[in-house]
Structure formats: C-alpha cells, structure tokens
Chain A
Amino acid sequence: MSSNPYQPVRTRLEDVARETGNIKTFLLAPETALPFEAGQFVQLTVPGLGEAPFTPSSAPGRGERLTVTVMEAGTVTGALHGMAPGAELGLRGPYGNVYPLDRFAGRDVLIMGGGVGLAPLRSLLLGLMQQRDRFARIILCYGARTPQDLIYKEQLKEWSRLDNLEVHLTVDQSDGAWDGKVGVVTTTLDDVELDAAGAVSAVCGPPVMMKFGTLALLDKGFTPENIYMSLEKNMSCGIGKCGHCRVGPYYVCRDGPVFAYSKLQGIKDLW
C-alpha cells in the first residue's frame, strides 16, 4: 500500500506560551521531523477529536521542532488551549506552496499582518532574516485590536531595535499605557515611504483585513503580481482531495495557501 497521507505522526507538546487572552503558541516535537518552507502549513491532530490546519510560526527549516500560534476558534483549537506540556498530539504535512523568495530577492519586502495573522508571517519574516542580504528593505506592519491583542510582544520589541528591520505597530483601540499609533493596520502604510511598484508584500489576517489590506496595498502602488496573500479557507484533507478549500479554479491547500493577488482577482467568492 502506498504511504498513507491521512496518518498523523505522533507529536509531543513541549511547551505552551500565552500570547493574548485567546492566542497561545505551542512548541511541537514530532517523532519524525517535518521539514517545511515558509508558506507551507501542517495539519495538527488533537487525538480522537480532529485536526486543524496551521502555518508554523517558527523559522522554516528541518522541522524537528516547530511552533504554531493558535487562536481559540472552535473544537480543536479550544481543546489545544486546554493542553499542558507533555500532551500527545499528531502532525502531518507539510502541505501547500511556499513564498517565492527568488521573486523577493533584491526588492523591498513589506509584511502586513492583522491579529493572529502575524503567526504565519513570522515564519516568513524569520526566513527572510536568515538570509537578510538577499533582500533590500524589510518592513513589518502589524496591527491588533488592542495592545493586549498583539502577539509576540517581546519579539516585537526586539525586532523594533534591529536596524535592518523596520517595524510599524498599531492598535484599533488604545489603552492607557499604549503610546504608539492608533488606527487600523492599513493606516501604517501612511508612515512607510517606498517605491511600491518594485516592492513585494505579504499579507495575512482576518478576511476583512485581508480585503482592505490588499486594496490599501494596491492604492499604495503595489502591483497585483507582487501582493502575496495567505488564504485561510476551510480545509479537511490538506492534500487536494476533499474539495473543501476550493476557490474558483484553485484548491487552496494544493495551489496555495500563498497566492499572488493577480491570480485571485475577479473570483467572486474570494472574501
């Protein structure tokens, strides 16, 4: 019998870190490594309950250890949030395509994330920083609802101190302690000066943010070919068989999850 793509690999939950009220980062150690590149996703099993797809948030690589950053959204994510280090999980993958880093080379790269949407983008960003010299400027625009809702708070501070990474943060609503920018994430684009026509961007976040984020990037002068979106469609199999993730002529799990916006323009049920 050919190898079974539905079979998860036994995986140990090594560590859990709280990011926000409803987002945690899980450190996973699969029995068999899952080497992955930035953009690809994995299917994470809570034994006996079911699976959910996540894009790793750790640096791409050999995949002996990887992290996923998960927002509580339902059955599987809810159960995950109740788990402690030592728990047994399952993983299969990686699946899907990768960010075309060759097309990013030599250009300015703008990464725009909303809420938990920064999770998959972190893997990309860490991947870019591993080969920092290949790219011109790297700009991170990240927004969340409130300061408490920002994920990777410590890392954001570290990143802000780097001189080869430009970080723009914003929140929809401030609290007393926040002295940064207030406004939806697209407003950070006003603070960024760049020649957008030659630059590339990667966007991920909730559907509304993806839509308005993409439109704002187009306004800014990015071309549809150079705006990469990571789509989070409903998935079951992850391997192009079950039909759940279809958008127009694509299966997101197989032809994506990373798409240049130019490939998606005109698809009616995209958002």
Chain B
Amino acid sequence: MTAKFVDTPSVGLALSKLLAGRETFGVKTVKDHLRLVRVEPDEAEIPPVRMVDPLKSIFFPPRQEVADYFERADEETPAKRAMIGVTACDLAALEVLDHVFLGGDFVDPFYQELRRNTLLISVDCTEPLDVCFCTFSGARPYPTAGFDLNLSPISGGYILEAGSEEGGSLLEEKLADLPEATADQFSERERSRAAVTQRVQQAVQDAGLPDPEKIYEKVQQKPDAPMWGELADQCVECGACNFVCPACHCFLLTDLEEEHGFRRFRNWDACLYPSFAKEASGANPRKRRSERLHGRMEKKFYFLKTDADRWGCVGCGRCIDACPGAIDVRETLRKLAHV
C-alpha cells in the first residue's frame, strides 16, 4: 500500500486536506488526560498511546435513539466522519464490536452507518502506559489491520501509510505531492516499533501475565474458585470497567413516550450490575457479585473466543485505571492462571 512521508510542521495541513468536509474526532489533552473530542483536523494531537475514552463511543454511543415508532424515523444519511489517533488496542476491540453489531442474522443499522461513514486514522504507540499489556495475546502496539491511514512517528515527521482502498485513494488524491516514504524511513519505523513492542512485552512478563489460552481453559474450569469472592470484596458494582472497556458491547433498550409518538434508545449496560441477568421469575443466575465478576471474564475469554474467534480483552488497561475498588485485571488473570 501507498506510504508517504509528512514532516512534523505539515501534519496538520495534511490532515486538513485529507479530511476536508468531514466531521472529525480526535484526541486532545484535557487536564492531563488524552480525551476523545470533536476537533478540527489540524488541531488533533497525534497521541503517543491510547486515549482515556474507548473508541466504541463514536460507533456505539452511550445512548442512541434506535426507533421512533410507529412512524419510521427519517433516514438521514449521517455526515462523513473521521477519527484521528486510534491505537492498535482500540482497533482490535473494534473487530469484536463489528462481529457483534454487523454479524449474525441481524445487522445493527445504526452502528453500520456510523462505521461505514468514518475514516479511521490510527497511530503507532510510542509511549506505552504502565497499565498497557496488549502484547499478552500476541497483539502489537502498532496497527496492523483495520485502519484507513496510519501515522508512524519517525525522526522529523511521520510515515503516513494507507491500510484500505479508501485511505489509499485519499492519499493519492489529496496528498499526491508528498514524497514517498523511503526504505530508510521504513527501517527506522521497524526499529522503533520493535523497541516499543519489547517494552510492553517486558511489562507483560514482569506482571506474570498468562497466555489467554490458559485463561480460556481456567475460566471454564474454575467458576467456584475463592478468587472470585475475593474480587467481590473489592467491587462496588459501578460498572466503570464495562463502560471504559472498548470491547464491552452490552446494552439495554428503553422506551420513552413523546408528544408525537414513542422513541426507543439503546443504552450502554453493565454485566456487573446486580439485575443484569435477573429473570422475571425472580431467579438470577448471576445473583452474587462473585458470579458476575466470573461471568465478565467468561464472556471475554470463553464466549467471545468461541463466538467471534477474538479475545474480549485487548490489554488497554482502561479498567485498571477506572476501577474504584482497585481491581487490576492483570492480577485477576494471573490468579486465575494459577488456581
């Protein structure tokens, strides 16, 4: 695929040319946090690591209207959009969401539209966080698939590489005058990618993280291990881990009466909430917090592996930062591997 070199002072202009006419999202530092916000292309930061917010928010918003009944909602064609600054872990999680919302007998048309209309510009990670462990499943801290264009920082600027047909033609069309990236620049990128990968791998090793295949087995075999009860003592059932997780996709439909009809919304939901699986009969198959904490791992490491051939955890570490009960998923995985 096509790859260009763009020098640091010209990145903003290049992105503006590429994304003219699109509603653009990107990353900005707000109070020391990398946040996902609406941006003008030339003011987007090229983040060195994943943002705080999960990428899912722009494809599967926390609350979205999905029906206006009994009249059919006007089918607006959503604006063309773009997102600048996506990292490899979020792209991996997007594969899970694609499986859920686009796969099977029913397509979620709202997700599909947003997905189709959004150009993804990803970045290589250069400064992994303390909580990052994406390589535990063999993944890499730089995008290898699923992006339209990718930015790899090298000395003096970036390699801007196309990853899709759409990205390729945009590059040819809008930035034809940029120089092709050279072989030297590619080898610089390889070296820097290898160094960052090595750093994350070292962290994964230091944390004693198991192979997810091991978790796949253990999570099926050990639903009754005492570790789930110990975790339950820490969990306050806030659902923060579910909401910040880029691969958590569960939702609840709620309806509303309006002056001129009725509307239905699809809202993020959390499997850590006590009534998530409660049945009308009063029975609740995951009544105890320990059962729900196990259920969440079972969903990620057994169900999704079986169903989507994907791991439901991409190692972004967001839940580690978010949990008010100081639950560290790396600790959970390590314990589970040894019960």
Chain A residues within 8 Å of B, Cβ to Cβ? 1-10, 45, 47-52, 71, 73-74, 77, 88, 90, 206-207, 232-234, 236-237, 239-244, 246-249, 254, 268-271
Given that A4-B109, A48-B262, A241-B100 are contacting pairs, would A246 and B303 also be in contact in the complex, using a CB cutoff of 8 Å? yes
Interface check B202, CB cutoff 8 A: no
- B306: chain A residues at CB < 8 Å are 249
Contact with A along B244-273 (1 / 0, CB 8 A): 000001111111111000101010010100
Find A242's partner among B70, B113, B269 (CB 8 Å cutoff).
B269
What would be 24 A-B contacts, judged by CB atoms less than 8 Å apart? Answer: A1-B109, A4-B67, A4-B73, A6-B67, A7-B69, A10-B69, A47-B69, A49-B255, A49-B257, A50-B253, A50-B255, A73-B281, A206-B281, A207-B279, A233-B277, A234-B276, A234-B277, A234-B279, A236-B253, A239-B106, A240-B104, A243-B299, A249-B306, A270-B285
Query: A48 near B256 (CB under 8 angstroms)?
Result: yes
Tell me the complex Cα distance, A99–B257, Å.
37
Which residue of the partner chain, among A9, A47, A240, A268, contacts B255 with CB atoms under 8 Å?
Answer: A47
- Residues of B with C-beta under 8 A to A244: 250, 252, 269, 276-277
A6, A9, A269: the one contacting B285 at CB < 8 Å is A269
Which of the listed residues A6, A244, A271 has the most CB atoms from chain B within 10 Å of its own CB? Answer: A6
Describe A's contact surface by its main secondary structure.
Answer: loop
Complex contacts, B280 vs chain A, CB 8 Å: 52, 71, 73-74, 77, 232, 234
A268 to B222, CA, bound (A): 10
CA distance A254 to B277 in the complex (A): 16
Q: How far is the CA of A52 from the CA of B255 in the complex (A)?
A: 12
Which A-chain residue is minimally distant from B70 (CB atoms)?
Answer: A10
Give which listed residue, B250, B264, B279, B281, contacts A243 with CB less than 8 A.
B250
Number of residue pairs A-B, CB distance < 8 angstroms: 136
- Please give, as numbers and ranges, the residues of chain B lying within 8 Å of A243 by CB-CB distance: 249-251, 269, 271, 299
Residues of B participating in the A interface, judged by any CB pair closer than 8 Å: 66-67, 69-70, 72-73, 75, 100-101, 104-109, 112-113, 223-224, 249-258, 262, 264, 266, 269, 271, 275-281, 283, 285-286, 291, 295, 298-299, 302-303, 306-307
B219 to chain A, nearest CB (A): 11
| Residue of B223, B258, B280, B286 with most partner-chain A CB within 10 A | B280
Docked complex Cα distance between A73 and B303 (Å): 30
Q: B105: which A residues are within 8 A, CB to CB?
A: 239-240, 254
Question: Which residues of A have CB within 8 Å of B66?
Answer: 4, 6
Closest B residue by C-beta to A71: B280
A97 to chain B, nearest CB (A): 11
| Contact between B249 and A241, CB atoms less than 8 A apart | yes
